[in-house]
Amino acid sequence: MHSKTKSKIEVTFIYLFFLVMFIVIGYPLFWALMMSVNPGSNMLVTNLFPDNPTFEHYIWLFTDPGSDYVTWYKNSLYVAVVNSVLSVIITSLIAYAFSRYQFFGRKYGLYLFLLLQMFPALMGMVALYILLNTIGLTDSLYGLMLIYIGGQIPFNAWLVKGYLDTIPKELDEAAKIDGAGHLKIFWTIILPLAKPILAVVALFNFMAPFMDFLLPRIVLTSPENYTLALGLYNFINDQFSTNFTRFAAGSILIAIPIALVFLLLQRYLISGLTSGATKG
């Protein structure tokens, strides 16, 4: 087969693959969007576009006294921001220590992090609940944040350490000659150079509270403490058992803060993912 013809066939298959992936990913989003502007509470959109589209479901979420959506949104934003900020701070310090210093237990500590990543989070749910109950943090956003932050440390530490290992240690040595201490080196040299991978960690940890359902379901019991995923579940499971259109409207709005954070961090994300994930 002629090389030019072979190249065209390969390109055609690549575009077909991307088209199929776009349909698989885009169709559910488009369906949810159309359902959110569909009058009534029916989950079925008979036409590609509703005959009488309306924004009444979006308005209801923010204005109706019976809706706790605003409270759930605030809870999710609060947990997401705190989780993202503290995860970046704690992870960067841990990864810096493992990347730059030799100490007793360093090798086995890294192996332990790797081992912890192999077990699904579901295995520890009962133990985590008992732990939170013991320290009085059940049905609390602080207990939820504690699990999120602690649970992400092994994966994030490995990811960030792999990136920090690519930063020349000669920069640290030059700074030490100029009289810089450990914290100054970390703050003025390592952190600015590690922005790409820290942006990845920040985004992943910001997204987690919006996407997670199982952990809030176990930890939180009071409606005023619900996150969005848990609160929206009640739209189709509790007293709002048929409000699929309001559920769709609330789900669409979840994407807004995630998209804003992504746009703010996008210039760092590609280099952070490629470098931190492939170099160790």
Token couple for 198:
């820290």
The pLDDT score that the predictor gives to residue 111 is 83
The pLDDT score that the predictor gives to residue 280 is 42
| Amino acid at the residue 125 | M
Q: Which residue has the tokens 């576009």?
A: 49
Classify domain 58-278 at the CATH topology level: MetI-like fold (1.10.3720)
Domain boundaries, the chain: 3-56, 58-278
Indicate the length of the chain as a whole number.
Answer: 280
The pLDDT score that the predictor gives to residue 239 is 53
The CA distances from residue 105 to 88, 98, 109, 251, in Å, are 23, 10, 6, 45
- 109 three-state secondary structure: helix
Instruction: Quote the pTM value.
Output: 0.84
pLDDT along the chain (280 residues), means of 10: 71 88 86 83 66 86 86 95 94 91 83 80 83 91 92 88 88 84 86 89 92 90 91 73 80 90 81 48
Distance CA 229, CA 207 (A): 12
The pLDDT score that the predictor gives to residue 276 is 43
